[in-house]
Amino acid sequence: MPVATLLVSCRDRTGLVAALSDFVFRHGGNIIDLDQHSETAPGESTGTFLMRLVFDTAGMRLDQQGIRTAISVLAQSHDLTTDLSFSDRRPKVAVFCSTVPHCLYDLLLAQSLGDLAGDIVAVVANHDSLRGVAEHFSLPFHFLPIGQDKLADEAKQEALLTELGIDLVVLARYMQILSPGFVSRWQGRIINIHHSFLPAFVGAKPYHQAKERGVKLIGATAHYVTAELDQGPIIEQDVARVSHKDDVASLIRKGRDLERRVVTRAVRLHLDRRVLVSGNRTVIFG
């Protein structure tokens, strides 16, 4: 029987952990993992409660639809926002890319090693140069160029995503800005990798900017895409130490190492259902 993962967010108050734990107990389930976090934003009197609850459904007296229905009733009675998933249904992922291959390679290698709790089922690109990478990993490659009518071209992309039943889009150095409409329809389901330790060095040529400033650390940031460019909730970040001896080419090489590791870790966290968005930030459950 599959394992269920329940993500919960709501107004913080007493009794929430007891109510959710009791739900699993009463229906014959077994809690495998439970993690919670409460926080109060500055200027607010009421805090937010966040929880990740993982439970085995083998002994439960409800089938999956019954569990969903019962949790829906529980959510209404306790004013909860919930997201329930089962381990026997693996999310489908599409990777968008342009011409730079390092992030794409790392994601596909992670999949080939069985490191992702989901399946990359398509590579979508606005250039044809990375077709060989997809073919090397026996994945369909969809060449969908972006021309003058960007909205029409995006409509083709979204039609493909719908046809494939995609759950998550990963921008693996995809050098296009998605339209607000696209982002709105896929809110919380697009991950981007930014070749900078946001919010520093936003925009073009971040490594050139870093060299000019004489920084001692460079970084990479993976975040959910929002309508505001490069300002979405951050999922994962990492840094590397550099010095005056590093030229721009050296910074770019070290940065690429960071980018590929960070985006793969972010995708793994999302597929493992360990990320909860709270406002414009994330809570990552270990």
Is the same domain home to 42 and 148? Answer: no
Does the pLDDT of residue 201 top 80, yes or no? no
Query: pLDDT at position 171, please?
Result: 98
Is the same domain home to 153 and 240? Answer: yes
Does the pLDDT of residue 208 top 90, yes or no? no
Number of helices and strands (H, E) in the chain?
A: 8, 13
List, by residue number, the catalytic residues. Answer: 230
Taking only the tens place, the pLDDT of each residue in 68-124 is 999 999 999 999 999 999 999 999 999 999 999 999 999 999 999 999 999 999 999
Tokens (6 digits) for 25: 């107990």
Is the same domain home to 60 and 198? Answer: no
Is the same domain home to 127 and 173? Answer: yes
Q: Which of 236, 235, 270, 278 is nearest to 81 (CA)?
A: 278
The whole-angstrom distance between residue 144's C-alpha and the CA centroid of its chain comes to 23
Is the same domain home to 66 and 99? Answer: no
Is the same domain home to 46 and 136? Answer: no
Asked which of 86, 113, 128 is the last residue of a domain, the reply is: 86
User: Average model confidence (pLDDT) for the chain?
Assistant: 94
Query: pLDDT at position 45, please?
Result: 64
Distance, in Å, from the CA atom of 49 to the CA atom of 32, rounded to the nearest integer, reads: 20
Assign residue 233 the CATH number of its domain: 3.40.50.170
Is the same domain home to 47 and 81? Answer: yes
Assign residue 16 the CATH number of its domain: 3.30.70.260
Does the pLDDT of residue 42 top 70, yes or no? no
Is the same domain home to 81 and 115? Answer: no
Is the same domain home to 26 and 143? Answer: no
Is the same domain home to 139 and 228? Answer: yes
Is the same domain home to 81 and 128? Answer: no
Number of domains observed in the structure of the chain = 2
For 268, which DSSP code?
H
Is the same domain home to 164 and 274? Answer: yes
Which residues have CB under 8 Å from 150's CB, separation 6+?
179
With a threshold of 0.85, does the pTM exceed it?
yes
Distance, in Å, from the CA atom of 166 to the CA atom of 158, rounded to the nearest integer, reads: 10
Does the pLDDT of residue 233 top 80, yes or no? yes
Taking only the tens place, the pLDDT of each residue in 175-184 is 999 999 999 9
Asked which of 55, 86, 117 is the last residue of a domain, the reply is: 86
Taking only the tens place, the pLDDT of each residue in 182-200 is 999 999 999 999 987 766 7
Instruction: List, in sequence order, the alpha helices (H) in the chain.
Output: 16-26, 64-78, 102-112, 131-136, 150-164, 180-185, 206-213, 248-271
β-strand pairing of 217-224 with 190-194: antiparallel
Asked which of 45, 69, 86 is the last residue of a domain, the reply is: 86
- Give SS3 for 74: helix
Q: Which domain holds residue 229?
A: 92-284
